[in-house]
Structure 1
């Protein structure tokens, strides 16, 4: 099967799987690009919950219909109403909040984010078998990088003494389907990219993406709470939001995470070939948030130019190798050596995270290390600086 046909078939199959999730709702923009969010759930700033009640009443709901959900930071309410038009309610609260002079995003859905190969397929769709590649020899420094991703499959050439995780995958039936579709092995591949770039890095993998390659905004926020003292966080996932405004919960979580201390987030730019639409969380790098420079948004290049499938925009920080990357995957009948070749900004991001880990000792802090990597990116890929 030709590369384009294989990629199209893969995207179509994965889109059907995602459409089959009953808890996911979808709103399409005029250009056909989707916003996905959790059905029936609205997240609201506490001080605008009165307006939310009015919005619920306009849709025929009463106080008895409101179900409070937990797992949100102080200052927020997360509520569920069966049959709620979430987008309509969110916009109603936002309009009234802005009319009252509140410039924050006052309400929003619990957005659904996807690992960047999922329906953001890159040039070649699913991973393909590759001969074994090379990992750097381990360095004693062991810079910890938090990797928010899928679980790790043990049946892999990824060296067990080079990463940390409690989130192992083990379902053999799911593995067989997942290896073909690219759900299984994503974290293995991301961690392998890091270890192929740097001997200093020690990935710490925390599972946030489920077997369908998706997570809720609230799941990602909860995962950020596990950052501990890790100075670098790699996020090879993301998505689009209602009206392209910053996600409500995620904004608050990153403000707390990056507003003080020494930490940077390296995020994939997404693989939809979009050139004018923010892909979150990477797009925070282009906002006015005071901590925006602690977010490094990474597009993908192929060694000559920006990949045509890589998202771009004024919010992209720099470009890194993302086409035909070779890394550790999963031992499987279709992957006898356990290595794969795969394309995506998912794999450009960990390349940059590893570069920051390499620069950390000399720079003295994660923030300064990220600035050093960005300043040292002297190659040009279109209008973007890049590393190779």
Structure 2
């Protein structure tokens, strides 16, 4: 077994060992992961959901309603619920009644996008130190909200160049194994922040932990993080996942609609690293939907300088490609990474490359929406059928 395959297998086992995660496999073997026993449903279709629960043998007293969802939604938990069956039951009846929205769905599980599937390049490898350009006096500072893992203090990241909701001492609670895999979260946010700072002296990342130590988050976690987006015009989402029947996630759709329908804001999202060519990876895939705010989502594939990386997801919903293979950035200081820098690959790292370019274009464009359009429109290289940044 190749080292990268061994790494991917161990990551998959860690995820499979989480008792709160369930999966449903498609015919091609690709999985959809979601929270066990939980259903998210629109208020007006809750009566149908109760019928679906009764069909599975549940009584009204069995229903437990969880909080942390926006107005207009219910989040219910029933131990032993066949979530996929219940969601499809509600959807079918809602569509028969003429409601074209996704009326119900699981609380989907999303992963950071080198997680378990960083392609042929495998886990992070030590790299010689790179450079972080100094901020020029008088340069307009652009905040970029990064919803990601926690941040390790033992890192080359300059403390005055970012804001973090949660920081920890690396040596105190994490070891790195022979393949560079951490027992906790893997320095992913440190790496993403380094790409942002390397590419643009304007950016000040705000790093918010929503992804847990296994590299995963729930749809409800992502939505809770998006509620903190006020004041940030660029949101970096180096994470994502697949959904039941490839339909848009019910709660995330409403959250992004509220965030992007008005105001000046864009979401830059990773395309995923499974080498899929026909399957939407959310939230990036919103760029290819009919949502009126779809142009505020920039879906980023990864290239290796010559072509789209074989492990990068692609599809009609891709907006632009950016460098994502063997990227060098800040990681963690450790005996295996003595300089604190690493090389790593994934659409996770193509994404902040684009977010930084939008930040750089913002002063001249006048709005972040126009800055995003300028960056995509100015991508003068072609990688297959996609425009790409060098």
| TM-score bracket for this pair, using the shorter chain length | over 0.9
- List per-residue Cα deviations over 1:39-77 (Å, max 9, x = no partner): 000000000001000000000000000000001011100
Which range is displaced more, 88-97 or 177-186?
177-186
> Residues of 2 paired with 1:123 and 1:233: CA distance?
28
> Residues of 2 paired with 1:280 and 1:236: CA distance?
11
Paired position in structure 2 for 1:219: 221
Kept after mapping to 1: 8 A contact 2:153/2:170 = no
1:138 aligned residue (135, 140, 153) = 135
TM-score by length of 1: 0.98
Q: CA deviation at 1:173?
A: 5.3
Paired position in structure 2 for 1:56: 53
> Residues of 2 paired with 1:364 and 1:255: CA distance?
23
- List per-residue Cα deviations over 1:112-159 (Å, max 9, x = no partner): 000001112222111000000121221331100000100110100011
> Residues of 2 paired with 1:145 and 1:128: CA distance?
26
2:140 counterpart SS class: coil
Paired position in structure 2 for 1:280: 282
Kept after mapping to 2: 8 A contact 1:284/1:292 = yes
Paired position in structure 2 for 1:306: 308
Kept after mapping to 2: 8 A contact 1:175/1:184 = no
2:174 counterpart SS class: helix
Q: CA deviation at 1:180?
A: 2.7
Paired position in structure 1 for 2:10: 13
> Residues of 2 paired with 1:347 and 1:340: CA distance?
12
> Residues of 2 paired with 1:75 and 1:133: CA distance?
48
- State the superposition RMSD in angstroms: 1.2
Paired position in structure 2 for 1:251: 253
Paired position in structure 1 for 2:232: 230
1:265 counterpart SS class: strand
Q: CA deviation at 1:368?
A: 0.5
1:1-388 maps to which residues of 2 (within 5 A)? 5-139=2-136, 140-170=139-169, 172=171, 174-177=173-176, 180-181=180-181, 183-388=185-390
Q: CA deviation at 1:171?
A: 5.7
Kept after mapping to 2: 8 A contact 1:105/1:246 = yes
Kept after mapping to 2: 8 A contact 1:153/1:184 = no
Kept after mapping to 2: 8 A contact 1:6/1:124 = no
> Residues of 2 paired with 1:238 and 1:348: CA distance?
14
TM-score by length of 2: 0.97
Kept after mapping to 1: 8 A contact 2:84/2:244 = yes
- List per-residue Cα deviations over 1:302-326 (Å, max 9, x = no partner): 0000000000000000000000000
Q: CA deviation at 1:169?
A: 2.5
Kept after mapping to 1: 8 A contact 2:170/2:332 = no
Kept after mapping to 2: 8 A contact 1:38/1:216 = yes
> Residues of 1 paired with 2:368 and 2:157: CA distance?
25
> Residues of 1 paired with 2:200 and 2:124: CA distance?
23
Q: CA deviation at 1:252?
A: 0.2
1:161 counterpart SS class: helix
Q: CA deviation at 1:160?
A: 0.8
Gaps of 5+ in 2: none
Gaps of 5+ in 1: none
2:285 counterpart SS class: helix
- Name the count of aligned residue pairs: 385
> Residues of 1 paired with 2:232 and 2:98: CA distance?
37
Q: CA deviation at 1:185?
A: 1.0
Kept after mapping to 1: 8 A contact 2:154/2:170 = no
